[in-house]
Amino acid sequence: MGQGFMRKINTRSFHPATRTTSREVNRQILLNFVRERQPISRADLARQTGMGRSMITSLVNELIENELVYERATGYSSRGRRPRLLHIRVHDRLAIAVDVRLHQTHLLLSDFGGREIALETFRTPASPEELACELATRVQRVREAHAAIGDCEGVGLVIPGMVDHATGLIPYAPSLGWCDVDLRGMLAEQVALPVYMERDAVACALAHTWMGRASGDAVDSFVYMTVSDGIGASLVSNGMIFRGRGDAAGEFGHIPLNLDGPPCLCGARGCLEVYASNPATIARYVGRELSTREDHTRLRESEFTITDLVARARSGDSPARAALEATSRFLGVGLAVVVNTLSPSRVIVGGEITSAWEILEPVMRKALAERALTLAAAETPIHPEPTDRQTRLRGATALVLAPVFAAPRIA
């Protein structure tokens, strides 16, 4: 879908196109200005972008005609008529976000502003075919129930595994045990809507890039690390995701920490995931083996979650705290690999365990400091993502709306 190369326009560093370059570039710059600084007047747009008044008039009129932007009289003026301000049209443009996880799947209907309209949670069916059917039924139902609010423009799927944008397939999702699965195709056929799909860490990074606060503090270069059923990472540089060949970059959970360590679901041994994923942390606490897929299934069925473990650790249960501290140490070692090889300006850590940040951070920092090559590397800012933010779902929503706001593709 070309989505793999989508770039966000940075309204703090841009070059307005000249007559010889695409008018579309200027149109997208204006659209993003309105999005990030709304409500804004045409006069302020001209001042802030340096574009001429006639250019502004023509492009803003085009954005209004295409129903991307609307203009409304707001605020008060000491004399004369009230100023007319521009807004992005979001309230009646809807998107469905789906977060597929090992255990449960969440489905969210929201508008383009990220406002939640409906949220459903159900047990993830075992096969991709069953999941596609279940999703199709639910998508149809939630669309019909809220048709009065607006039209749904697409479905964004977040998957704990690789997504190849050239083929639309999931080449491999180790935690789900899926290989070469066409979930996107199966769902698109049944719902007759555009369906977009991304791996979880990329979706979380997109949530930061696209769904962050509009005050201009959005960060355009960072590494996002997700800790959930598995561990993934996504590198964003100047608002663009680094994807690698076949979009396969980011399987951070499978960096080897111990060549002779316990077996991982990927088939190798001693991967970071074996020591620091949520199932690994829970297994450590409850004293279970986690060598086979069956072990994972049994652990999942015990219904003791990482959220329960975090709650126990925070209320003074020392074995729970020790289990989290051990995980933090491994995460810190993993982060040292990221920091030493990529030197990101900051790292964001997402996942339920970040609720225990006061337990995690010191241990993680110590492990990072022991292996970071410079003091500056050891002091790389690491921020937890608040768990109430539904980052994966917001990332799935971003998949649907980003194509509207992304920079045009220019050769």
Q: Which stretch binds Zn ion (CB under 5 A): 154-162, 193-201, 267-275, 385-393?
A: 267-275
Binding to Zn ion by residue 296, rule CB under 5 A? no
- Which span sits near Zn ion by CB under 5 A: 63-71, 89-97, 142-150, 269-277? 269-277
Q: Which is nearer to Zn ion, 170 or 271 (CB)?
A: 271
Judged by CB under 5 A, the stretch of 177-185, 203-211, 260-268, 288-296 that binds Zn ion is: 260-268
Q: Looking at beta carbons only, is 238 or 297 nearer to Zn ion? A: 297
Residue 290 beta carbon to Zn ion: minimum distance, rounded to whole angstroms: 12
Of 1-9, 31-39, 179-187, 262-270: span binding Zn ion (CB under 5 A)? 262-270
Whether residue 254 contacts residue 378, with contact meaning beta carbons closer than 8 Å, is answered with no
| 40 near Zn ion, judged by CB under 5 A | no
Nearer to Zn ion, 111 or 273 (CB): 273
Q: Which residues contact 245 (CB under 8 A, 6 or more apart)?
A: none
Of 56 and 265, nearer to Zn ion (C-beta) is 265
- The Cα 320–Cα 325 span in angstroms is 9
Placement of tokens 């509009």 in the chain: 214
Binding residues for Zn ion restricted to 116-175, rule: CB under 5 A? none
Measured between alpha carbons, how far is 124 from 133 in angstroms, rounded to an integer?
Answer: 12
CB 190 within 8 A of CB 210: no
Can you list the positions of beta strands (E) in 149-293? Answer: 151-159, 170-173, 178-181, 195-199, 222-227, 231-237, 240-241
Residues 6+ apart with CB under 8 A from 382: 335, 346, 347, 348, 349, 361, 364, 365, 368
* Per CB under 5 A, 407 contacts Zn ion: no
Give the strands of the sheet with 104-111, arranged side by side: 116-123, 104-111, 93-100, 151-159, 195-199
Q: HSE on the CB side for 253, CA within 13 Å?
A: 29
The region of 16-24, 130-138, 238-246, 248-256 touching Zn ion under the rule CB under 5 A is 248-256
Of the candidate spans 102-110, 249-257, 306-314, 340-348, the one that interacts with Zn ion by CB under 5 A turns out to be 249-257
| 208 neighbors 217 (Cβ within 8 angstroms) | no
Chain centre distance of CA 177: 22
Length, in residues, of the chain: 411
Is residue 271 part of the contact set for Zn ion (CB under 5 A)? yes
Q: Calculate the alpha carbon distances from 294 to 82, 228, 288 in Å.
A: 67, 18, 12
Q: Which residue lies nearer to Zn ion by CB, 186 or 338?
A: 338
Of 278 and 355, which has the nearer Cβ to Zn ion? 278
Choices 39-47, 150-158, 162-170, 254-262 (CB under 5 A): range interacting with Zn ion: 254-262
The three-state secondary structure class of 213 is: coil
* Nearer of residues 266 and 377 to Zn ion, judged by Cβ: 266
Helix, strand, coil percent content, the chain, rounded in steps of 5: 45, 20, 35
User: What is the Cα–Cα distance from 59 to 22, expressed in whole angstroms?
Assistant: 12
Q: Minimal distance in Å, beta carbon 180 to Zn ion? A: 19
End-to-end Cα spacing for the chain: 17
Compare residues 132 and 272 and give the one whose CB is closer to Zn ion.
272
Check residue 264 for interaction with Zn ion (CB under 5 A): yes
| Minimum distance of Zn ion from residue 251's CB (angstroms) | 8
Q: Of 272 and 320, which CB lies nearer to Zn ion in the complex structure?
A: 272
Instruction: Kindly state the tokens that stand for 259.
Output: 């060549």
Per rule CB under 5 A, is residue 266 in the interface with Zn ion? yes
Q: Is 254 in the site for Zn ion (CB under 5 A)?
A: yes
- Nearest CB to Zn ion, comparing residues 111 and 251: 251
Site for Zn ion, rule CB under 5 A: 254, 264, 266, 268, 271
